[in-house]
Amino acid sequence: MNEPLDLLLKHVSIRRYKDESIPEDHIHQAVLAGQAASTSSAVQAYSLLQVTDKAERQKLVSLTGGQTKVANCGAFFVICGDTRRHRLICEREGQTYEARTEAFLLSVVDASLFAQNLVIAFESMGYGICYIGGLRNQLDEVDELLELPHGVYPLYGLCVGVPDEKPMTRPRLPVDAVLFKGRYPTDIDLAETIDDYDETYREYMQQRTGKARPWSTSMSRKFSEPQRVQVGDYYRRKGADLT
Amino acid sequence: MNEPLDLLLKHVSIRRYKDESIPEDHIHQAVLAGQAASTSSAVQAYSLLQVTDKAERQKLVSLTGGQTKVANCGAFFVICGDTRRHRLICEREGQTYEARTEAFLLSVVDASLFAQNLVIAFESMGYGICYIGGLRNQLDEVDELLELPHGVYPLYGLCVGVPDEKPMTRPRLPVDAVLFKGRYPTDIDLAETIDDYDETYREYMQQRTGKARPWSTSMSRKFSEPQRVQVGDYYRRKGADLT
């Protein structure tokens, strides 16, 4: 086991932070590491907005469904897909920027490779992190609050700070439910791995919350209800042509 | 500088590989590290398909625009968004799976956080990697070749292997063109950072290719032409409801 591998394997999301901010040079270093991630043909279709205003962070607590860690963590960032630089470049060269599903997809992938490197960099310095998907609960309001221009759109938030808890690691699907050689498995084989995982997950939930809920139950509840139905329209308004 | 940070910062994509395959236990270990990445509410909306058949890898060379490394690297993987497990679960519980832009977006983010951890794990073991966005050039053909079921869709490929070259690191945008505190910059400020970067990039391209092409020129060429216009339709056919 090498040191980076060990760091990756011990990841847990941190939801409680000490009241300590993050030195600028640590943020700078982490962003450099984030940028070192692969990017499709060097397009670098992302930006990182650090929300520094206390009142804005407090507002974001309610916009993300009451997640107080958004205000309490050492630093809060918004990870954005960013097509604005490309649009500007096309514009000043008299070209038309061709927005398509591909360009949007590329920004989501690029931003996420960047974000995960950023996260690992912060974790390597001893910080804890938590991604905030809840930032997509009310994208229009977040956009208005942060005054984001056309072509720049939040994908998710990121809390970073000094951990004030030591949570259990959440068990993942077994490797053979995720890695397939040659062909994707049949539904019968897939169902078996889900059943096995449900057992493991149930035990974890029992220990963590006192309620032995299997993974399947969480998934069927989550995916049988329409979620964040406005996100497509929001991204379209910000210039993504999801055709 | 700690060891994981050092590893992140020295990343370069590898396009030439030695003729050595990757031991199964290394792949297993890297997948475990990949899975340790954050996943939205534990949904784990991804799968990793290793293409093991030689003829299929050769076919993928042409489907990705003649990228011979797809056949020559130590192991070639297809990173897939995967909603199939969730669909199965909903189905067997008598629920309707609610596909929306959100569910698709979630799979792209989840898969990319997983993929980047996977990549770092492989790099920590001394392997080189290259993401293959060209896998989206002809998604229907890739899908047919790999016989992917409904709800499972390739996002990009990944070459892994023992490096047989030592490329220069490609310079990234300056940190102050990517990290913003409080507010996104004005177009004038943004244009200045682009101009600075164009100089750096031009020098890099001169050294690497003998042609001093600035970043702007690559970007305007890339984004003023419609790219991979079929991807939206393909993902829709695989069950993503991009509304």
As a whole number of angstroms, the distance between CA B81 and CA B76 comes to 17
Is B224 in CB contact (< 8 Å) with chain A? Answer: yes
Residue among A4, A100, A182 whose CB faces B3 most closely: A4
pLDDT along chain B (243 residues), means of 10: 96 98 98 97 97 98 98 98 97 92 96 98 98 98 98 98 96 97 97 96 95 96 94 96 85
Phi and psi torsions of B89, nearest 5°: -60, -45
ipTM confidence score: 0.98
B208 inside 8 A of chain A by CB:
no
pLDDT tens column, A42-86: 999 999 999 999 999 999 999 999 999 999 999 999 999 999 999
Mean pLDDT score, A131-143: 98
Q: What is the mean pLDDT of residues A136-155?
A: 98
How confident is the model at residue A67, as a pLDDT?
98
Distance from CA of B13 to the nearest CA of A (A): 7
**Confidence label for A204 from pLDDT (cuts 50, 70 and 90):** very high
Residues of A (140-179) whose Cβ lies below 8 Å from B: 146-149, 152, 155-156, 169-170, 172-173, 175, 177-179
Please answer yes or no on whether B184 and A152 come within 8 Å at the CB atom: yes
Long-range contacts of B38-42 (CB under 8 A, 24+ apart): B38/A11, B38/A13, B38/A119, B38/A129, B38/A130, B38/A131, B38/B113, B39/A172, B39/B110, B39/B113, B39/B114, B40/A131, B40/A133, B40/B106, B40/B109, B40/B110, B41/A133, B41/A218, B41/A222, B42/A170, B42/A201, B42/A215, B42/A218
Instruction: Check pLDDT > 90 for residue A1.
Output: no
What pLDDT digit, counting tens, does each position of A8-17 carry?
999 999 999 9
The whole-model pTM stands at 0.98
> Best mutation site among A41, A43, A78, A184 for testing chain B: the one with the most B CBs within 10 Å?
A184
Q: Which residues pair with A49 in a beta bridge?
A: A78, B180
Nearest CA in chain A to B28: A175
pLDDT above 90: residue A93: yes
Separation of alpha carbons A113 and A116, rounded Å: 5
